[in-house]
Structure 1
Amino acid sequence: MSLAMNREVFITCAVTGAGDTAGRSDKVPVTPAEIAAASIEAAKAGAAVAHIHVRDPETGKGARDVALYREAVRLIRESGTDVILNLTAGMGGDLTLGSVEQPLPPAKDGTDMAGATERLAHVAELRPEICTLDCGTMNFGEGDYVMTNTPAMLKEMARQIRDLGVRPEIEVFDTGHLVLAKWLHAQGLLDGPVLVQLCMGIPWGAPDDIGTLMAMVNNLPKDWVFSAFSIGRNQLPYAALAALAGGNVRVGLEDNLWLAKGVLASNGDLVVAAKQTLEGMGAKVLSPAETRAKLKLEKRG
C-alpha cells in the first residue's frame, strides 16, 4: 500500500456534542454563548470548521431547540470570526427501548424521535454551510439506546438538505453506513464533492485500528473528501493517522476531554495540538477560505 498522505488538511472542531460530558469537565460549553465562544476559540487556534450541537442551559443535556442554535450562530456570525459552521442534524433519532423483557413502549427518558423536517428546522432557518447526516442506525453504549436512521429517513433528509443548498457531512460509524452513503449519492441526493466523516472507535461501530480505517478509506470513491477521528485517548494520534491515510482531521470536546493524562483540555488546546502535529509532519493546515474552495462551499452569514 503506497503512502497517500494529505498535505493540505482542514481541521474540524466538534466543540460540545450531546453526550453526558458537561458534568465531567467544566470546559465543555453548555449555553449558546459558551458554545459560540468555544467555536471562536477553535477558529482562532486553527480550525476551519466548527461542528456544533446545542445543550439545554439548565440541565446540560443535548437539545435541538432552534432558538438555542439561533443564538449560538448569531453570536459567531456577529463576532466577525471566519469559521465554517457545521450544525448537527443528528438529534431527533434517539430511541431507548423500555427493557429487555418489554421493549415497547419505548422509555420516555432517552427517546426523542422526530420527522425529517423537524430534525432540519434549524438548518432550514440558519442555512449553515454544512450540516451532518448520520448515515445509518447503530447501538450505542451497553443499555437499550439505538441511534435510529432508516433508509427512508436518510433519503428524505438528504433531499431536504440538498434543496436547502447546504452540504451534508455524511457521518459514517460503520462499514454499512458507507454503503448507504453510496446509495444516496447514486440517487443524486449528495452534491459533490461528497464530504464524509469517518467516526472511529465508538461502541459498537467500526473499531479505530489501522486496518479497519484503511478498509473504509479504500472503499471511498476517489473524488470524495473525508475526515476521520477517534474518541478518547486516540483522538490526537488520529490527527496524524487521518492525514497519513489521505484525509482531514477532527478534534474537540465532543469526542475527548483530555489534553494529557490528568489535564483537561479546552477546544482550543486540542486544535493547537492537532495543528502542531500536522505541521510537524509537513502538512499545511487550511484556513476557512481555503477549505471553502476545496469543498466548493459558498460563504454564509
Structure 2
Amino acid sequence: MASTSDKVIISCAVTGSVHTPTMSEYLPLTPDEIAEQAIAAAEAGAAILHLHARDPRDGRPSSDPAVFDQFVPRIRDATDAVINITTGGSTRMTLEERLAYPLQAKPEMCSLNMGSMNFSIHPAARRVSEWKYDWEQAHVEGMEDLIFRNTFRDIKHILKVLGEDCGTRFEFECYDLGHLYNLAHFVDEGLIQGPLFIQSIYGILGGMGPDPENLVTMRSTADRLFGRDGYRFSILGAGRHQMRLLTMGAVMGGNVRVGLEDSLYLGKGQLAKTCAEQVQKIRRILEELSLEIATPDEARATLGLKGRHAVGF
C-alpha cells in the first residue's frame, strides 16, 4: 500500500471564469449547479474542490461573497473535500474583489497565480456564430487586450492577509517557468513555508504550451529549486490536452486537476456533462496504472492544511 504522500491527489475545478455559457450547456452557472457538480465530483474521488462563483442570472464571473455563500457552505456540509477558493477570479476583477470572499471564508486552501501574465482564449470567439448572452462575446474577444495582474507586491499581500493571518495554504498556479522562480523568491524571503503544492499549467495562450517536454522541464526545475521532498507537483492540461498530460504527470509522480474550468470535454468531440465524469475518467486511468487515490484527509495531511474545523464558513 502506498504511503499517504505517494497517493495521487485529484483536484476538480468546477466552473472557473474563462468558459462562457454558449461554449457548453453543461457548464455550471447557478449556485445549485455549482454545488451539485462539486458534490458529485467529491463523491467520484476529488479530494480538493477549486471554486469560482458566477452571476446566476447570466453566468458571468462574480466575486460577490453573497453568491459564494449560496453554494460553499452547502458543499462543506455534503462532503469532506478540501474547499479551495480562487484568488484569481477573472482578469477584469480588482485585487480587492478577488480577495473579498477568501478573506471572509478563511478556507483551508486558495489558489494563487505566481505572476502577471497575458491570459486569453480570444481565438475561441471565431468558432462561435451566435452567443447565448450579450456579455459573452465582448468578454472572450476582450481578453486579447487584457492581462492577469499579480505583481510581487500583490502576491506578498495575499501571502500576508490569507496565509499568515488566516492560516490558509495555497495551490501555487505556475503557468510558466518563471513562475517557479517567483515562488522560489518568496520561499527565500521566508514568506512561504513548505510543503508547497505547485499546480503546473499547460495549454493556456500566454503561458506554457502543452508540449510534454515542458512538463519535464517544470518538474526538473522544481526539483532544483525546492528539492523533490519539498513540494507536491500537480498537473493541469487545458482543453484537449487534459487527460494525456495528466496521465504523463501522474506517471512522473504528480497529482492531477480536472474540471469544466480547465476543459469542457470528456473526449474528442464529446462534451463532458459533469465534472464528475472527468474525475471518474482520470481516476480509472490512474487506478489502471496501479496508482492509489488520496482521500481528502490524506490530502490535508500531505499538504499541511489547517483542517475543516478552522475555516470561517
Superposed counterparts of 1:205-216, under 5 Å: 205-216=207-218
**What letter corresponds to residue 300 of structure 2 in structure 1?**
R
3-state SS of paired residue (2:147): strand
- Match status 1:69 vs 2:50: no
- Cα distance in 2 for residues equivalent to 1:238 and 1:71: 34
User: 1:22 matched to which residue of 2?
Assistant: 21
User: 1:193 matched to which residue of 2?
Assistant: 195
**What letter corresponds to residue 148 of structure 2 in structure 1?**
M
- Match status 1:114 vs 2:115: no
Superposed counterparts of 1:1-301, under 5 Å: 7-79=6-78, 81-91=79-89, 94=91, 111-115=92-96, 118-141=97-120, 142=122, 143-162=144-163, 163-220=165-222, 221=226, 222=228, 223-265=230-272, 266-301=274-309
**What letter corresponds to residue 256 of structure 1 in structure 2?**
S
**Residues 1:209 and 1:57: Cα distance change in structure 2 (over 3 Å):** same
User: 1:3 matched to which residue of 2?
Assistant: none
- Cα distance in 2 for residues equivalent to 1:254 and 1:187: 32
- Cα distance in 1 for residues equivalent to 2:151 and 2:74: 34
How much has 1:54 moved relative to structure 2?
0.6
How much has 1:191 moved relative to structure 2?
3.0
User: 1:100 matched to which residue of 2?
Assistant: none
CA deviation vs aligned residue, 1:177-210 (integer Å, no higher than 9, x gap): 1111111111222232011110111112111212
- Cα distance in 2 for residues equivalent to 1:55 and 1:45: 23
3-state SS of paired residue (1:68): helix
How much has 1:131 moved relative to structure 2?
0.2
**What letter corresponds to residue 226 of structure 1 in structure 2?**
F
- Cα distance in 2 for residues equivalent to 1:25 and 1:86: 24
3-state SS of paired residue (2:308): coil
Identical columns (%): 38
- Given that residues 19 and 61 in structure 1 are in contact (C-alpha distance below 8 angstroms), is that contact kept between their aligned partners in structure 2? no
3-state SS of paired residue (1:249): strand
- Cα distance in 2 for residues equivalent to 1:119 and 1:204: 21
3-state SS of paired residue (1:122): helix
CA deviation vs aligned residue, 1:268-296 (integer Å, no higher than 9, x gap): 10000000000011100111111111112
**Higher relative helix content:** 2
- Cα distance in 2 for residues equivalent to 1:114 and 1:261: 37
CA deviation vs aligned residue, 1:12-38 (integer Å, no higher than 9, x gap): 001101013322212111112211111
- Given that residues 106 and 162 in structure 2 are in contact (C-alpha distance below 8 angstroms), is that contact kept between their aligned partners in structure 1? no
- Given that residues 229 and 242 in structure 1 are in contact (C-alpha distance below 8 angstroms), is that contact kept between their aligned partners in structure 2? no
- Cα distance in 2 for residues equivalent to 1:300 and 1:7: 22
Count, aligned residues: 276
How much has 1:119 moved relative to structure 2?
2.9
Structure 1 gap ranges (5+): 1-5, 95-110
**What letter corresponds to residue 293 of structure 2 in structure 1?**
V
CA deviation vs aligned residue, 1:206-251 (integer Å, no higher than 9, x gap): 1121211111111111211121111111101122111122210001
3-state SS of paired residue (1:155): helix
How much has 1:55 moved relative to structure 2?
0.6
How much has 1:140 moved relative to structure 2?
2.2
Report the RMSD for the aligned CA atoms in angstroms: 1.5
3-state SS of paired residue (1:23): helix
Report the TM-score when normalising by structure 2.
0.84
**What letter corresponds to residue 259 of structure 2 in structure 1?**
G
- Cα distance in 2 for residues equivalent to 1:260 and 1:282: 22
CA deviation vs aligned residue, 1:105-164 (integer Å, no higher than 9, x gap): xxxxxx33234xx53221122121100111101112352011111111111111112121
- Given that residues 33 and 75 in structure 1 are in contact (C-alpha distance below 8 angstroms), is that contact kept between their aligned partners in structure 2? no
How much has 1:7 moved relative to structure 2?
4.9
- Cα distance in 2 for residues equivalent to 1:258 and 1:134: 24
CA deviation vs aligned residue, 1:76-131 (integer Å, no higher than 9, x gap): 1222x111101100126x2xxxxxxxxxxxxxxxx33234xx53221122121100
- Cα distance in 2 for residues equivalent to 1:296 and 1:138: 29
